[in-house]
Structure 1
Amino acid sequence: MNRIEALNILGLDSDATQEDIKTAYKECVQIMHPDRFANNKKLQDRATEQFKRLQDAYDYLTSGKGSKKGSSGSSGRRAYSSAEAQLAGLEAAKTQLVAQRDTLLDERRNALIMLVGGGIIALLLRRFVAVAGLAATVMIWGIVSLISTQQSIGNIDDHIKGIDAQRRKLENEMEEE
């Protein structure tokens, strides 16, 4: 991992200060903490992976390995405000949630295929009891997968709406200043 990769994980540009890194990290951690997804094992596992990536990036940037090298003075760079760093953290968390939602949408499509395919096979081969039974089992598994995936997508959509609301609030505060 290099500085640019670590900053991208936190949603920051290459000219971010240590204060920007800390603020963006705190925002991302609040949103992506695995405990927020305790009611869904799949989402909790994904959040744990993302949380580890955030932690690794933050550790890299604060350990001195990812410090800016060769920067003398300000050299025309501007520092992020706290609100801008929070916005960057929110955007990074939203990006990760959207990626998780995309994966769940693929799983939902696969569940629909199992449901429809199992139903068709069960109907066509109903005279062969064993095959029809297996097809019905696949169909039931598709229903269960579809329901759990849809619930997970709903949870992620709720988190994304919360992030959007926080972003709008921060942007309004920045406009007022």
Structure 2
Amino acid sequence: MRSCFAFPALLATALCAAVPAGAQSLLEYVGECVPFARQASGIQIYGDAWTWWDQARGRYQRGQVPKVGAVLAFSKSPQLRLGHVAVVSRIVEKRVLMITHANWSRFDGERGHAEQDVTLFDVSERGDWSLVKVWYRDRKGLGSSIYPAHGFIYGTPARDAPASVRKARPSAELTSRQPDYVGSLIDAYAAR
């Protein structure tokens, strides 16, 4: 797969790898979470989702504090054999975020679709986003599973990053114009 972010002048074609032929929007994407997260965040990491955290070391800054446009790298687990990656679209409050990601919930029985402004709730004891619950369309609320996460990969190159690593440019479609903040809070705190 070629990198659409190799040349800033090609911003109009930045969605080429993630948006299927004929689609007008990143949100029409159907496929795996990794190509979607790469295109939505601008962070140029390849390979299974569970490898992103280690691959980011020395290339992109990483941490435990959410920032819009950052990628949350989920750990490999029995439920997520290949891990998962999602892009932060909104920060609602200290322990509640909205993410935009692909290949989580089913749409008409089919996985792979993109979802925008999905509730993510930090359930870790230390408030470090190492354990999270994710809104699941199939249940119309937060799922009952708790997923381990490594942390956030920011689109800013690490201090000693190779010159080829450029600052990421997240998609303008990460969030909607009027996300449901109240619904997100209700989803998070009602599921405690």
Q: Which has the higher helix share?
A: 1
Q: Which of the five TM-score ranges fits, normalised by the shorter chain?
A: under 0.3
- Structure with max Cα Rg: 1
Q: TM-score, normalization: structure 1?
A: 0.23
Q: Which has the higher strand share?
A: 2
